[in-house]
């Protein structure tokens, strides 16, 4: 997972052995982390090829038409891209530890919430990439979004959105929740007041203890260092390798 990020000119790695799946990833991409979480929760063996997104190897376009990661190469040679499509595919194909609710209505409701979370993601990205103060509109979008999730968690009553253990909704929103502390450094100090989002904060603590989450979890120091390098125009994707 923490291997070097391959750049333009790097040779394409040979196909994985034994029909293993291969994930084209990047250690700091939250969308790729979604797929790591699903693969890890389901204990599906896979290998990882990390891609330098500032200097992509040409062959990545043969795998993913827009050169985006995550992209998952299957044992059939097909390649899927788009994190949510990959996550749904894996849940349907591999039945161990089902992540989506079995009830179609509950599953649809969870997917609507994942959609809704996109507004938080987009705003969070803008806040992190903008140097300076967060706008009132952005503050409101994030607060309203988080309020919805706080209420939802209270109504559902479980330790996780999916009940007693994390499910698809929990894992699909997790990568941005892992990075939430950065907002306090780069955004607004008041945004993530712990008393306002009590249930979400408790959920976040429980999530960070989940064995699946722990496999890809990075502490805020790494996220902050990476974001600083990104903002400086030189994303340091090999930050973890270089810090060893
Ligand atoms: N909607 C896509 C978003 C994936 C995405 O934006 N990935 C970024 C890295 S975090 C990427 O590949 N960026 C490179 C590029 O856009 O050229 C998904 O859910 O998989």
State if pTM tops 0.75. yes
Whether 191 has a pLDDT exceeding 80, the answer reads no
* Peptide linkage before 168 cis (omega within 30 of 0): no
pLDDT (average), residues 180-195: 68
Cα 100 to Cα 104: distance, rounded to the nearest angstrom: 9
Of all protein residues, the one whose alpha carbon is nearest to atom 17 of ligand 1 is: 68
Question: Measured in angstroms, how far is the CA atom of residue 59 from the centroid of ligand 1?
Answer: 16
Whether 42 has a pLDDT exceeding 80, the answer reads yes
Are 181 and 132 in contact, with CB atoms under 8 Å apart? no
- Is the shortest distance between the CB of 226 and ligand 1 below 6 Å? no
| Catalytic residue from among 29, 127, 200, 207 | 29
Determine the atom of ligand 1 nearest the C-alpha atom of 28. 10
**pLDDT for the residue numbered 243:** 82
pLDDT digits (tens, 9 = 90+) for 132-173: 667 778 888 888 899 999 999 999 999 999 999 999 999 999
72: enclosing H helix or E strand = strand 71-73
- Is the shortest distance between the CB of 68 and ligand 1 below 6 Å? yes
Of all protein residues, the one whose alpha carbon is nearest to atom 10 of ligand 1 is: 29
Determine the atom of ligand 1 nearest the C-alpha atom of 68. 12
Are 167 and 110 in contact, with CB atoms under 8 Å apart? yes
Determine the atom of ligand 1 nearest the C-alpha atom of 86. 20
Determine the atom of ligand 1 nearest the C-alpha atom of 70. 20
Q: Catalytic residue at 177? A: no
- What are the residue boundaries of the structural domains of the chain, listed by start? 5-98+225-242, 104-209
As a CATH number, domain 5-98+225-242 is: 3.40.30.10
Residue 183 DSSP SS3:
helix
Cα 238 to Cα 47: distance, rounded to the nearest angstrom: 18
Q: Is 157 left (phi over 0), alpha (psi -120 to 50) or beta?
A: left
Are 38 and 84 in contact, with CB atoms under 8 Å apart? no
- Is the shortest distance between the CB of 53 and ligand 1 below 6 Å? yes
Whether 189 has a pLDDT exceeding 60, the answer reads no
Whether 90 has a pLDDT exceeding 70, the answer reads yes
Are 175 and 213 in contact, with CB atoms under 8 Å apart? no
Of all protein residues, the one whose alpha carbon is nearest to atom 6 of ligand 1 is: 68
pLDDT (average), residues 167-183: 94
What is the architecture of the domain spanning 104-209? Answer: Up-down Bundle (1.20)
Place of tokens 């599953």: 107
Place of tokens 């040409």: 58
Instruction: Report which of 127, 90, 129, 87 is spatially closest to residue 111, judged by C-alpha positions.
Output: 87
Question: Measured in angstroms, how far is the CA atom of residue 156 from the centroid of ligand 1?
Answer: 31
């Amino acid at each position: 997972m923490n291997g070097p990020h391959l750049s333009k000119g790097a040779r394409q790695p040979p196909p994985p052995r034994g029909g293993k799946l291969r994930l084209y990833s990047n250690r700091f991409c939250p969308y790729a982390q979604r797929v790591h979480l699903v693969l890890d929760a389901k204990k599906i063996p896979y290998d990882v090829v990390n891609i330098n997104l500032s200097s992509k190897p040409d062959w990545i376009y043969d795998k993913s038409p827009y050169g985006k990661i995550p992209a998952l190469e299957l044992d059939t040679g097909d390649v899927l891209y788009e994190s949510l499509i990959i996550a749904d595919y894996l849940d349907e194909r591999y039945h161990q530890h089902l992540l989506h609710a079995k009830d179609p209505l509950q599953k649809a409701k969870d997917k609507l919430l994942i959609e809704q979370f996109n507004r938080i993601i987009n705003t969070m990205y803008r806040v992190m990439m903008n140097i300076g103060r967060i706008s009132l509109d952005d503050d409101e979008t994030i607060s309203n979004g988080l309020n919805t999730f706080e209420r939802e968690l209270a109504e559902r009553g479980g330790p996780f959105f999916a009940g007693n253990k994390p499910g698809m909704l929990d894992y699909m929103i997790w990568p941005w929740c892992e990075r939430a502390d950065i907002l306090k450094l780069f955004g607004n100090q008041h945004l993530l007041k712990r008393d306002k989002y009590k249930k979400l904060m408790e959920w976040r603590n429980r999530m960070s203890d989940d064995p699946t989450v722990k496999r890809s979890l990075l502490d805020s120091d790494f996220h902050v260092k990476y974001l600083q390098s990104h903002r400086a125009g030189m994303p340091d994707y090999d930050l973890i390798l270089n810090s060893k």
